[in-house]
């Protein structure tokens, strides 16, 4: 847990299990996410980390387990019992979801500004001037040229599209953001700038973030805490520096060794 975070979790999962044809997925996972902390789930392809992310974000139904979320009003919600309209409201207000591929998280037929403004309109905002002003402000915050507000996403590079997707997710001031491999597929220099941006924004906004990554370097830079998954199970967890500097599980040791310089 982030040392400065309150002791009450924002999101709590217990015994979360999702199987695909009797295998794969995630098995009996316990997880807590606290306000203002960044938690990274690391593991190789097929480890179950993306399945867990989608289960927590209510994008994938589970076979077993419990999931609770505490609202800003301190109401404790049983997410699996929550009616669909309330789930959709959470996704529009309290939560964000950043896809690995920005193409999956953007509306490509509308401008950059409209992509940022649409979530606000979905929550009732209608004043065109204020929407445009907010969109321009967020373009600046994610280091995009606000003069390009009327351009389509296709006019932007991959790294810029990812920044645009992040702005689209954060404009509603969510309390929790799920991110699926947000730097995957980007050039190293673009990755570095995006990681710096994410670290700045999560701290500035006191934002809880759950980030799935196969990259130990991403986790070391961003995460307060770390969970390591293998074959659908959590094999090690703890404070990031603790886990990475003194890994206990053989799989974690292998992951850490694979990124150390020879």
Residue 117 structural domain = 106-173
| Residue 187 pLDDT level (bands cut at 50, 70, 90) | confident
* pTM reported for the whole predicted model: 0.91
Task: Kindly state the percentage of the chain with pLDDT values over 70.
Answer: 95
Same domain? For 48 and 113 the reply is no
Average pLDDT, the chain: 91
* 216 assigned to some structural domain: yes
* 131 assigned to some structural domain: yes
| Residues paired with 180 in a beta bridge | 212
Which of 173, 197, 217 is where one domain is finished? 173
| Helix/strand/coil (H/E/C) assignment for every residue in the chain | CCCCCCCCCCEEEEEEEEEECCEEEEEEEEEEECCCCEEEEECCCCCCHHHHHHHHCCCCCCCEEEEEEECCCCCEEEHHHCCHHHHHHHHHHCEEEECCCHHHCCCCCCCHHHHHHHHHHHCCCCCHHHHHHHHHHHHHHCCCCHHHCCCCHHHCCHHHHHHHHHHHHHCCCCCEEEEECCCCCCCHHHHHHHHHHHHHHHHHCCCEEEEEECCHHHHHHHCCEEEEEECCEEEEEEEHHHHHHCCCCHHHHHHHHHHCCC
pLDDT tens for residues 48-84? 999 999 999 999 999 999 999 999 999 999 999 999 9
Same domain? For 190 and 90 the reply is yes
Same domain? For 2 and 89 the reply is yes
Which of 152, 173, 194 is where one domain is finished? 173
Same domain? For 145 and 81 the reply is no
Same domain? For 159 and 196 the reply is no
pLDDT tens for residues 29-54? 999 999 999 999 999 888 999 999 99
Look at the chain and report how many structural domains it folds into: 2
């Amino acid at each position: 847990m982030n040392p400065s975070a309150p002791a009450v979790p924002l999101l709590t999962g217990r015994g979360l299990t999702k199987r695909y044809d009797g295998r794969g997925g995630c098995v009996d996972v316990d997880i807590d996410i606290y306000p203002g902390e960044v938690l990274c789930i690391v593991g190789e392809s097929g480890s179950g980390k993306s399945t867990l992310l989608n289960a927590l974000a209510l994008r994938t139904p589970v076979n077993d387990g419990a999931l609770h979320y505490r609202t800003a009003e301190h109401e404790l919600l049983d997410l699996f019992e929550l009616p669909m309209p309330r789930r959709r409201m959470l996704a529009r207000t309290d939560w964000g979801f950043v896809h690995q591929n920005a193409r999956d998280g953007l509306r490509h037929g509308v401008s950059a500004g409209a992509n940022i403004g649409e979530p606000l309109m979905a929550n009732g905002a209608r004043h065109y001037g204020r929407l445009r002003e907010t969109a321009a402000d967020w373009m600046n915050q994610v280091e995009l040229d606000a003069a390009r507000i009327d351009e389509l996403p296709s006019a932007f590079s991959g790294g810029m599209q990812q920044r645009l997707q992040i702005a689209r997710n954060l404009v509603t001031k969510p309390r929790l953001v799920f991110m699926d491999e947000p730097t995957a597929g980007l050039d190293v220099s673009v990755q570095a700038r995006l990681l710096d941006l994410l670290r700045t924004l999560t701290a500035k906004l006191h934002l809880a973030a759950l980030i799935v990554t196969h990259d130990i370097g991403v986790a070391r830079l961003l995460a307060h805490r770390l969970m390591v998954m293998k074959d659908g199970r959590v094999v090690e967890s703890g404070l990031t520096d603790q886990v990475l500097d003194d890994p206990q599980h053989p799989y974690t040791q292998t992951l850490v060794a694979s990124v150390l310089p020879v």
